[in-house]
């Protein structure tokens, strides 16, 4: 039950993030450390990412329910965040770890740790529910 509760919490956090990105692309862009360093704000791109967060969060949150179908949805929902985490790690390898502490925390915890943790939890849940 603890694994499924953590999936629900991460999922709800992703849904909230996605909704924030859709409701206030400028606010999200300005508030998240390091985002302004990636170039000018692009509302369409921020909205695209917001939709990815919502879809991923919904899948992860559905992992709170028991059963193989819910576990498979959680695993599907965990796929984009873990790939997103990998992209950030690749950026660190290619360009160095962020020098600013707020950016390092935002990327390290908000993207990498949550993305990898969500995938590990979804994978454990899927195995427990007999998905594979």
- pLDDT per residue as tens digits for the range 12-64: 999 999 999 999 999 999 999 999 999 999 999 999 999 999 999 999 999 99
Residue percentage of the chain with pLDDT more than 70: 100
Cβ pair 63, 73 in contact under 8 A: yes
- pLDDT per residue as tens digits for the range 52-77: 999 999 999 999 999 999 999 999 99
Burial of 93 (0-12, 13-18, 19+ CB in 10 A): exposed
Q: Coil, strand or helix: which one is 99? A: coil
Across the chain, mean pLDDT equals 97
The ranges assigned to domains in the chain are 2-128
Q: What is residue 37's predicted lDDT score, i.e. its pLDDT? A: 93
Cβ pair 23, 43 in contact under 8 A: no
Q: What is residue 25's predicted lDDT score, i.e. its pLDDT? A: 97
State the Cα–Cα distance between residues 108 and 115, nearest whole angstrom: 10
Beta-carbon count within 10 A of 117 CB? 18
């Amino acid at each position: 039950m603890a694994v499924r509760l953590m999936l629900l919490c991460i999922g709800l956090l992703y849904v909230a993030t996605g909704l924030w990105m859709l409701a206030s692309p400028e606010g999200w862009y300005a508030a998240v450390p390091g985002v302004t360093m990636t170039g000018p704000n692009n509302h369409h791109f921020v909205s695209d990412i917001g939709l990815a967060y919502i879809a991923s969060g919904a899948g992860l949150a559905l992992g709170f329910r028991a059963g193989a179908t819910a576990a498979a949805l959680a695993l599907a929902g965990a796929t984009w965040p873990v790939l997103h985490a990998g992209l950030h790690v690749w950026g660190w390898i290619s360009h160095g770890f962020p020098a600013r502490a707020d950016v390092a925390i935002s990327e390290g915890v908000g993207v990498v740790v949550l993305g990898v943790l969500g995938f590990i939890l979804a994978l454990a849940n899927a195995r427990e529910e007999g998905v594979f």
